[in-house]
Structure 1
Amino acid sequence: MAHLKPLLAFAVALLLVPRGRGSCRTAPAALHPSGHRALRQVLVAGNDSLASEPGAAATATAAPTPTKSPSEAGHSEPASSGSDAVDQAAEGAVKVYAEHTEPDYSQPWQRGKSHSSRSSGVMMLGPDGEPLVCTNAHSVEYATQVQVKRRSDDTRFEARVVAAGRDCDLALLAVDDETFWENATFARFGGLPAIRDRMTVVGFPIGGEQVSVTQGIVSRMEVTGYSLAWRELLALQIDASINPGNSGGPVFNDEGEVVGLAFQALTSAENIGYVVPSEIMAHFFEDVHLNGTFTGFPDLGLQLQRMESPALRAAYNMSEGEQGLLVRLVYPLGSCAGQVQQGDVLTKFDGVDVASDGTVPFRGEERIDLSYLVSQRFVGDTADVEVLRDGQLVQLQIQLKAPDWLVPVSLKGALPSYLMVGGLVINVLSAPFMFSEYGSVGGSPTGLQDQLWFGVKNQTDEQVLVLSQILASDATTGYERYSDIQGRNAQIHTFNGRPVRSLLQLAREVVTCEAPYMAFGVDHNEEVILETAAVQNATADVMAVHAIPSFASKDIVDALGKEGVLKEPTA
């Protein structure tokens, strides 16, 4: 159901080939320190949207809306129908090579070892006629180098990422060398297919160097978990064989039109693959074109409960035949804050009736999750909402926002933030950090999981801070047995008796502290206390011993420098 943080439901694999290996990787790049190199299982959401974030800033405009005709989009004339049309359109498939250097989330002052991957993409034209390659965002995440090669060429060309959207696992690449685009075949986009329509998947999966072509049918179309950013968006399920390396590969209908890109597969079954549909691609393209960057898919910012129980509906003064969803929580920074109230019953979104099972009408006789309707809109749009409040219908207008969770699912391509105080290493809690420390979210301590799934952000800069390590120094003597402090990654709640809201706030209080002691309040009312006079020299000593370049991450150092409070120790 829409707008609830999801429980984990099924395992999917992102279809990326680590070069030189016979395995694929199932966890999104930012969610495990081994990056694209390992075969991992990631558990993904069932029916509820979770988190989103912008991708890399765009420097080029986006592509035409997929539902436009070839003439409207400025593409070449379509080929003949049937297999000839697909064969000709498949010439637009490209192979994508990337070198990745991901952060080390456990030791955030350094990066992990560089590693390689290969995936697929498709050539297309932007709204101003600019040539682009569209691929998956996970194919180029934390990439230090990206190259592309056409199927009929043996030359690799340098490419650069001009836009990336982790929500929908899409990215746009530009190739500045005009030689790459000579006699190019550009994609023509089609609309949503019907169930049982035949599809052709083209890409460069594991098992060979040449292009691979497989066929299947559309077996399902519904709101599905996108494993890269843990979002719930429309996806096509197909039974064509798609494998590691197919990531970003075009999926064609019989007319040779691109109806989507392959992006993940179900690992617990055979021949169940997932495709980002052209409708989602259109949203991504338009978002980037209008805003110059990917702003994400909006979310209502509500925790909702189905009302299929007659007793539950009666308790909330709903008459016979009335339907809707019960509002259990309104997120303070969400789209509906200040408008919708806890205990309201959501009955309509943009004039469309919401059923008590959380669905809305879709394509005639079909039904689909409410989140699909919300995802059709853009961040910043105004939407109409109807609620039942104390037995009366109330009409409201809300401004749609992207969700902003207390514990981020990714770092939006940024490096992790950290603070080191006399040997105490303090990290910001995130899903990638949990994967790094414990191998999975489910292996993390219950307290950290609760913050991820149920934590509520009340202020825009609010974060969850954890004490991840205590490195030996003169200031930390006596804390060698870190297990005595409720185990590693205890949450930091207070500093010298004051609540801790963010890493920057804590860093500011540390560098300006004039009290004789620094007291860090952690879980279960325990404290870690350092002598203030010993902290600066101890911090410098630890930096020298462990080759740590700075006592804090660049974002923290820069912010403190602008505030004029920086007293950075030197190693």
Structure 2
Amino acid sequence: MASGAGTGIIISSDGLVVTNAHVVNGATQINVTLPGNGGTHAASIVGIDTTKDLAVLKVSGVSGLVPATFANSSTVHVGDTVLAIGNALGYGGQPTVTEGIISATNRSLRDSSENLTGLLQTDAAINPGNSGGPLVNTSGEVIGINVAVATGTPSEPAQNIGFAIPSNTVTAALPALEAGKSASGSPSPSQTTAFLGVVVTDAPNGAAVVEVQPSGPAAQAGVQAGDVITAVGNEQTPDAAALQAAIRAKKPGTTVTLHIIRGAQQLTIPVTLGSTQVTS
């Protein structure tokens, strides 16, 4: 059975935790390890919204926890010093802390089910396992939830380009998620949609791959971070939204041909799409 690791943020004294939806979506068992001597406890999903990449968990058998303080992310400026905290690479034990600055604001990312806008960009080192963890200011207040990192290509690796969901987006979504609804306030129904397994952003001539999700359809087919997807079959994908729409229009299990620019190469890569549960 496959397993994975991520990070969460305590938001109530009785064990509510917010994290990324992609950390827990589809999980059959969730365990939460609390810092210090808090031990490991079973947890369950209270509310999830894959379109916002947010989920709220309830940790069993705990009390007296200290919730995080969320700052107003609209006051964040480029150049502000920040710290990224998380379970980097799933090492466990004490969280890993890295320092950086806010490099940009209002960034956008998409994948098969998400449309993340208004993101904060940081050069603080973010690694697999950091997803769902806090990006904090120098007062220790949460200004964002770490969600993705750009890795680039083997020949042109990206350095220190991470993204976080702003705290204002998170706090606006929490009441609905805590009530077992999606961030829009409706019950959290799910539907199965086709899944490529990449996070993309707009490029001048297509959808640039920021991150390839491990073991996903794209990774298995050889798609790499830094690739620019210009078409799905005969359908042009001039930007990230067009790629997202093209994939969601397909059925899971369909094999599609991706037209890709990789450096000076133009490639065609067949990919058999997977499936994912989408809540909205």
Fold match, TM over 0.5? yes
- Matched with 1:267 is 151
Q: 1:190 aligns with which of 47, 58, 71?
A: 71
Q: Which runs of 5+ in 1 are unaligned?
A: 1-113, 297-377, 380-410, 417-428, 458-462, 470-488, 490-571
1:446 aligns with 2:210: no
- Matched with 2:181 is 293
The secondary structure found in structure 1 opposite 2:4 is strand
> Quick check: 1:167–1:226 contact (8 Å CA) kept in 2?
no
CA distance in structure 2 between the partners assigned to 1:464 and 1:226 by the alignment: 17
- Matched with 1:315 is none
Letter in 2 for 1:430: A
The structure in which a higher percent of residues are strand is: 2
Q: 1:146 aligns with which of 26, 30, 35?
A: 30
CA distance in structure 2 between the partners assigned to 1:452 and 1:124 by the alignment: 35
1:240 aligns with 2:124: yes
1:31-62 superposed Cα distances (whole Å, 9 cap, x missing partner)? xxxxxxxxxxxxxxxxxxxxxxxxxxxxxxxx
Shift in alpha-carbon separation, 1:153–1:279, aligned structure 2, 3 A? same
* Residues 175-324 of structure 1 aligned to structure 2 (within 5 Å): 175-178=59-62, 181-182=63-64, 184-192=65-73, 193-206=76-89, 208-210=91-93, 211-227=95-111, 229-268=113-152, 269-288=158-177, 292-296=180-184
Shift of 1:252: 1.3
- Matched with 2:11 is 124
Shift of 1:130: 5.2
Shift in alpha-carbon separation, 1:468–1:175, aligned structure 2, 3 A? closer
Shift of 1:151: 1.5
Shift of 1:283: 2.5
> Quick check: 1:166–1:228 contact (8 Å CA) kept in 2?
no
> Quick check: 2:121–2:163 contact (8 Å CA) kept in 1?
yes
Letter in 2 for 1:206: L
The structure in which a higher percent of residues are helix is: 1
Shift in alpha-carbon separation, 1:188–1:447, aligned structure 2, 3 A? same
How big is the alpha-carbon RMSD for the aligned residues of Structure 1 and Structure 2? 3.8
CA distance in structure 2 between the partners assigned to 1:288 and 1:231 by the alignment: 18
Q: How many residues align?
A: 220
CA distance in structure 2 between the partners assigned to 1:445 and 1:163 by the alignment: 33
1:78-112 superposed Cα distances (whole Å, 9 cap, x missing partner)? xxxxxxxxxxxxxxxxxxxxxxxxxxxxxxxxxxx
The secondary structure found in structure 1 opposite 2:77 is coil
TM-score by length of structure 1 reads: 0.34
- Matched with 1:115 is 2
CA distance in structure 2 between the partners assigned to 1:467 and 1:203 by the alignment: 34
The secondary structure found in structure 2 opposite 1:265 is strand
* Residues 10-29 of structure 1 aligned to structure 2 (within 5 Å): none
CA distance in structure 2 between the partners assigned to 1:175 and 1:154 by the alignment: 12
Letter in 1 for 2:66: T
> Quick check: 1:253–1:259 contact (8 Å CA) kept in 2?
yes
CA distance in structure 1 between the partners assigned to 2:245 and 2:26 by the alignment: 28
- Matched with 1:503 is none
Shift in alpha-carbon separation, 1:220–1:173, aligned structure 2, 3 A? same
Letter in 2 for 1:257: E
Shift of 1:146: 0.2
What fraction of aligned residue pairs are identical, expressed as a percent?
Answer: 27
CA distance in structure 2 between the partners assigned to 1:136 and 1:466 by the alignment: 23
1:494-536 superposed Cα distances (whole Å, 9 cap, x missing partner)? xxxxxxxxxxxxxxxxxxxxxxxxxxxxxxxxxxxxxxxxxxx
Shift in alpha-carbon separation, 1:134–1:145, aligned structure 2, 3 A? same
Shift of 1:263: 1.1
1:170 aligns with 2:170: no
CA distance in structure 2 between the partners assigned to 1:466 and 1:212 by the alignment: 37
Larger Rg: 1
Using the TM superposition, name which of 152-161 and 200-209 deviates more.
Answer: 200-209
Shift of 1:287: 3.8
The secondary structure found in structure 1 opposite 2:174 is helix
CA distance in structure 1 between the partners assigned to 2:197 and 2:124 by the alignment: 35
The secondary structure found in structure 1 opposite 2:47 is strand
* Greater relative contact order (CA < 8 Å, ≥ 6 in sequence): 2
> Quick check: 2:120–2:166 contact (8 Å CA) kept in 1?
yes
1:353-376 superposed Cα distances (whole Å, 9 cap, x missing partner)? xxxxxxxxxxxxxxxxxxxxxxxx
> Quick check: 2:47–2:177 contact (8 Å CA) kept in 1?
yes
Shift of 1:132: 0.6
The secondary structure found in structure 2 opposite 1:236 is strand
CA distance in structure 2 between the partners assigned to 1:466 and 1:118 by the alignment: 26
